[in-house]
Amino acid sequence: MIKKTRGFGLLGLAVLLALGMPLAGYQGITIQRDVTVAAGETQDNVFTLGGNAVIAGKVRRSVIAIGGTITVSGEVGEAVVGFGSRVVIKESAVINGDVVTLGGTLEKETGCTIRGDTVYLQGPEIGQKMLRGDIFKGLLLFPLLPIIIIVKLVILFIWLILAVVGAALFPKQIAFASGQIRKSFWPTFAVGILAIIIFTGLILFAALLSIILIGIPVLMALVAAGIIIKVFGRLAVFYFFGDSVRRAFGSQKVSAMGAVLLGLLVVGLIGFLPIIGFLFSIPLNIMIWGVAIRTKFGTTENMFQKKQAVLPAPPAA
């Protein structure tokens, strides 16, 4: 049995928030402790918490594990992502997207095919600390580090997890929503302002109703909706900034995960700047709300645009 730790709680919450985004047209996820896709079998997505994922067949989209192991000898359509996991890519494996390992170990046999990026950020000791929930203890013991920087680092780490999971599961929706920022910036900005005003009013109204208990479930539903909107919207904005940096330097097109991670780095660095970071966060949050709602989580250009009815042709004289 895997011991329940604070680290699992944090990572589990991050993953569940990412998985909870209600995107139309999204295929199901196989969630079990141990998942085996045998040769000749096909699944859409695989997610395991502390178990073993053995992929000998085909996974159309992504394989994600927290702890445990991932062993791929078959084909994965998009990404293989491990948090504190042992990731083994066999010689016969074909991965059409990225391989990302945060903590744990990564083993690639000669002859395997990885068509995307390979990101390996941490070693096994750090991965084990992450799963035990004490990855930030060293920071907390450092007396000269301001508390505000510690908080920002923790938040940045959580967004790193969400960025990796979100980009692995929803690359097309995030890329599409990001494109609408470039295409319809001011309409998206206006929707963001209205959305924040309306949402704030609804939160206040639900809080007042909570005095007589009626508003408590409404308040909880609004908070959950706000978190989902902010997660997806921020990933789309990360993609926008990452892709903009790529365009500015004339680099070749990168994967959705590469663009999101680059955007996270850019936004994170700006956020550490005094005053400028605070001022930057205001329009950033407006765009987050606007792009998530206007594109209906990356599934349409403008959810408020009515489809024009096609009138029948007049009868021939």
Helix residue ranges per DSSP H, 35-146: 124-132, 137-140
**Cross-sheet strand order for the sheet of 113-114:** 42-43, 58-59, 75-76, 94-95, 113-114
**Residues shown for the chain:** 317
Residue 209 and residue 107: Cα distance in Å, rounded? Answer: 55
State the Cα–Cα distance between residues 51 and 64, nearest whole angstrom: 11
Average model confidence (pLDDT) for the chain?
Answer: 79
Band the pLDDT of 166: cuts 50, 70, 90: confident
Is residue 194 within a helix (H) or strand (E), and if so which, with residue range? helix 185-209
pLDDT in the model for residue 294: 93
- Tokens 């966060």 locate to 281
Q: What is the dihedral of CA 52, 56, 60, 62, to 10 degrees?
A: 30
Considering only CA atoms, which of 78, 27, 21, 76 is closest in space to residue 53? 76
Distance of alpha carbon 298 from alpha carbon 44, whole angstroms: 20
With 70 as the cut, is the pLDDT of residue 127 above it? no
Q: What is the mean pLDDT of residues 187-216?
A: 87
So what's the pLDDT on residue 27? 45
Confirm if 51 and 70 have CB atoms less than 8 A apart: no
Q: pTM for the full model? A: 0.67
Give CA 121 to chain center in angstroms.
17
Q: Are 206 and 218 in contact, with CB atoms under 8 Å apart?
A: yes
